[in-house]
Structure formats: C-alpha cells, structure tokens
C-alpha cells in the first residue's frame, strides 16, 4: 500500500514548495502561539494559496477555542484540523462540514492506545504521537518517539497516522514495523526549532516513499 506523508509546521514558501515538490500528501500549519512553528492568519493564507489541488492542508491546534478554528479553516482553506490535548467531546464539538478531524493521542505505554476508542464518532483519524514530559509547553514537535512495537497487533478503531521523532533515517523502519500508511514529521526535517530544511524535507519524503 502506498505511504503518504505530512510535513508539519511549515511557515515559509520555500519549505512549503519543497514539501509539495517532493510529494507530500499533506502540509501542516500550526496555530498555537507557544510553538516556534506558529503562523499568523495572514501568513497561513499566503501559504495555503500556494498549495495545489491534491495536496491537503491541515491546521494544527491545541485544545482551541471555536473562533480560532473557524477563522483558521476559513483563511487557510483547511481540509483537516489536527487537535492535540483535546477531549473526545470537544473534538466532536469542533467538527465542521467538509473538514476532517484528527485527534492526536500521546503515547508512552500500550495503555495509552486505549484512548483511541474514545474518539470513535468524534474524529475521522487518530494521530499517534510521542508523549512529551509532564509540564512540557508543547504537545509534540520535540523530536521524541515512542516504542513502535506498541502498535503491533493493536486493533485500530479509526484510520490513523504515525508521528513522533520520525526523520529520514528511521521513517522506513517505522513504516515497516507499524504498517503506517500516513507518517507525519516536523522537528525531524528542521535545522533548528521551527526552521525547516529543504534538503531534510526532500530526504524524508524520498525515504518514506521508498
């Protein structure tokens, strides 16, 4: 089965173009001010305008207010919203017609995977991400990974994607071990927090598609 890839936390035209040019199926824009990858509405609108048909635009949020999601969906013409630290009932409340809802689950142990079942009927896709340390300001994008063996044999209740500590050097193994058909990367294609690298983006996508 072909593997799709999302490059997340894009904030400049050159890195967005690199992601699209090398075959990313999804591009992610972060709407969370504490993140070094946060984009303003005007910035997001300009980037979204560069995205061609066939590549899906994903907005990334952390337990957001309704108004933030609504405006981001409008200005960035989002195809999906990716929600971190957001309870199932809140994910369901934030659903919008024609826009997919992704629920991120922070994973460290096998028991953490059980939370996925709570999103049936609330989300369209689960994003398994590495659990960040207690008290961390960011819910992801820190280069952490979880034990991929935890996913082996797990009965996924929804379509899903794999995130957390992926890079060009390990994404092929991650796909092989987990069976992921959608992988998501942010810090793994950066040269500094929030600063994407076009060569790393190219290498990641080449590895993911190999």
Where in the sequence numbering do the catalytic residues fall?
Answer: 8, 129
Paired tokens of 20: 């699209």
Element at 196 (helix H, strand E): strand 195-196
Of 137, 190, 192, the C-alpha closest to 168 is 190
Q: What is the torsional sign of CA 10, 182, 189, 102?
A: positive
| Beta bridge pairs of residue 4 | 182
**CA geometry: angle at 67 spanning 65 and 73, to 5°?**
105
Residue 36 zone, left/alpha/beta (φ > 0; ψ -120 to 50; rest): alpha
Centre a 10 Å sphere on the Cβ of residue 13 and count the other Cβ atoms it contains: 12
Pairing of strands 125-130, 160-162: parallel
The C-alpha atoms of residue 129 and residue 28 are separated, in whole angstroms, by 15
Which residue in the block uniquely carries the two structure tokens 């934030």?
A: 94
Paired tokens of 148: 């991929």
């Amino acid at each position: 089965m072909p593997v799709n890839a999302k490059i997340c936390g894009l904030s400049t035209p050159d890195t967005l173009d690199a992601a699209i040019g090398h075959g990313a199926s999804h591009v992610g824009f972060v709407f969370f001010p504490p993140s070094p990858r946060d984009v303003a509405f005007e910035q997001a609108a300009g980037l979204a305008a560069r995205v061609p048909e066939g590549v899906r635009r994903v907005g990334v949020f952390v337990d957001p207010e309704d108004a933030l999601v609504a405006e981001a969906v409008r200005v960035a013409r989002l195809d999906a919203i990716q929600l971190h630290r957001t309870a199932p009932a809140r994910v369901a409340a934030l659903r919008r017609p024609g826009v997919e809802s992704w629920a991120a689950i922070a994973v460290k142990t096998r028991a953490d995977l059980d939370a996925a079942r709570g999103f049936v009927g609330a989300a369209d896709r689960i994003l398994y991400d590495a659990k960040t340390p207690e008290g961390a300001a960011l819910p992801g994008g820190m280069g952490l990974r979880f034990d991929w063996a935890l996913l082996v044999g797990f009965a996924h209740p929804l379509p899903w994607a794999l995130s957390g500590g992926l890079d060009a050097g390990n994404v092929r193994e991650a796909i092989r071990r987990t069976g992921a058909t959608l992988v998501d990367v942010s810090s793994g294609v950066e040269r500094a927090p929030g600063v994407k690298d076009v060569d790393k983006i190219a290498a990641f996508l080449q590895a993911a598609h190999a």
